[in-house]
Amino acid sequence: MEEKKLYPFRLTRIEDKYPWGSEQFRLADLGYRDTFVLDGWLSGNTMGDLMETYLDRVTGDHVFDSYGVQFPFQIRRIQVDGRMPLRVSPDDETARDRYDHLGKEKLWYVVSADKGSRLLIGFRDETDASELYQECLEGNPVKLLNTLEPRAGQCFYIPSGTPHCAFGPMTIVEVSESSALDFCLCSWGNDLADEFDETLNFIDALDFIKYSQYPSALLAGFAGTDTDIPGVQNLLKLNQFSVNRVALKQALSIDNTASETCLAYTSVKGSFEIQTTPDVCPDSERLLTVSEGETVLIPAETTSFILAPRSADATLLEVMVEKLPSDDETFDPAGDGSEDLVGDGAEDLS
């Protein structure tokens, strides 16, 4: 019997509400938060189910060699109405050694920001653990941190070890490693029992926080670097994941054969279609419409497809794990000596 091929599918959203706003997991494989497939014969399966069943067919060989059955990244849409708690996340080595988990590098993409909203990211000047601890204890760490007024379309890289939060009203799309390791440094007086794991306490975070001055160049909210593909800009390229912004003005044909990786697309503005051919998706899953705010995953097994705009303002974030050049040091997030990751290709289809 011929094996069914995996196909592009949308994912459910899982929403958690807090005193400061809400967050929606749009793509997650965290166990306690695990998004479901919405479309086709895979409908109802979680990301965890897919990874356990289809393995490298979902993520691709290079990603699977590094991460195994753990899907490598997550996407959240965060609505900030009040003061988000000040938080920090560990690096991969610390997270692996202490918690048997991935660390948490992040990209924040500002979808919208009202006048008066603020981002707090990293330290204005070099500080130390005792000073941070005292200011957080008194509920006043703001004076230690860089404070900026964001604009829609800006992107901010938040390295592991960097304290950060947002004061709304603001909407953010967060791309990060698949990790639940956020440590609360200051709650601003809110009850956050339902948001943070009580075992991840402030004291445990003190030795992995980066107390150096946060690089001023990262505070400008970078716009991205143009690529060879019209309308496609690279926003961030890390060992853990890469993010591109796609201003989808016309159809793009994507050939993912050489990359052998999965791709995720989340609409930050407008809507778009994903079209596949009968040889890729022989059943009914050949045309998929993705609305604003939705996220779709393209399994590695789907090697070619077309992105087409359904609205004039269609803007997408494309997330993947890229393959390291052969002369780079091996990136081994799992700590098991396995090798690494992946990329993509696209051409203008006008």
Query: CB–CB of 262/320 below 8 Å?
Result: yes
Domain residues for the domain of 304 are 225-348
Q: Mapped to the 3 state alphabet, what secondary structure does 195-260 carry?
A: CCCCCCCHHHHCCCCCCCECCHHHHHCECCEECCCCCEEEEEECCCCEEEEEECCCCEEEECCCCC
Residue 59 lies in a domain: no
- For the chain, how many structural domains are there in total? 2
Distance CA 66, CA 336 (A): 8
Q: What is the DSSP letter of 303?
A: -
Q: Is residue 21 part of a domain?
A: yes
Boundary-marking domain end, from 220, 239, 254: 220
Question: Rounded to whole angstroms, how far apart are CA atoms 159 and 182?
Answer: 13
Give the CA diameter of the chain: 66
| Same-domain check for residues 194 and 241 | no
CATH number for the domain that contains residue 136: 2.60.120.10
Instruction: Based on the fold, state whether residues 143 and 249 are members of the same structural domain.
Output: no
Domain membership of residue 56 (yes or no) is: no
Q: Please indicate, yes or no, whether residues 192 and 239 belong to a single structural domain of this protein.
A: no
d(CA 229, CA 349): 10
Same-domain pairing of 332 and 297: yes
- Same domain? For 337 and 204 the reply is no
Q: Is residue 325 part of a domain?
A: yes
Q: Which of 305, 272, 240 is nearest to 106 (CA)?
A: 240
Based on the domain organization, do 271 and 155 belong to the same domain? no
Residue 337's pLDDT is 43
Both structure tokens of 98: 């202490």
Q: What's the confidence (pLDDT) of residue 325?
A: 62
3-state SS string over 272-297?
A: EEEECCCCCCCCCCCEEEECCCCEEE
Same domain, 296 and 215: no
Question: Global pTM?
Answer: 0.90
Are 128 and 158 contained in the same domain? Answer: yes
Residues 37 and 112 in one domain: yes
How many angstroms separate the CA atoms of 232 and 168, rounded?
Answer: 29
pLDDT along the chain (350 residues), means of 10: 82 95 97 94 96 96 95 98 96 96 97 96 97 93 96 95 96 97 91 79 93 90 83 94 95 87 96 83 72 96 93 96 64 48 33
End residue of a domain, out of 170, 195, 220: 220
The answer to whether 21 and 78 have CB atoms below 8 angstroms apart is yes
Output the pLDDT for position 331. 56
Residue 63 resides in a domain: no
DSSP state of 34: B
In this structure, is residue 5 part of a structural domain? no
In a shared domain, residues 194 and 84: yes
Last residue of a domain, one of 155, 187, 220: 220
Domain annotation covers residue 36 = yes
Asked, for residue 65, whether it belongs to a domain, the answer is no
Same domain, yes or no, for 81 and 215?
yes
Amino acid 235: pLDDT: 95
Output the pLDDT for position 345: 33
Q: 205 and 299, same structural domain? A: no
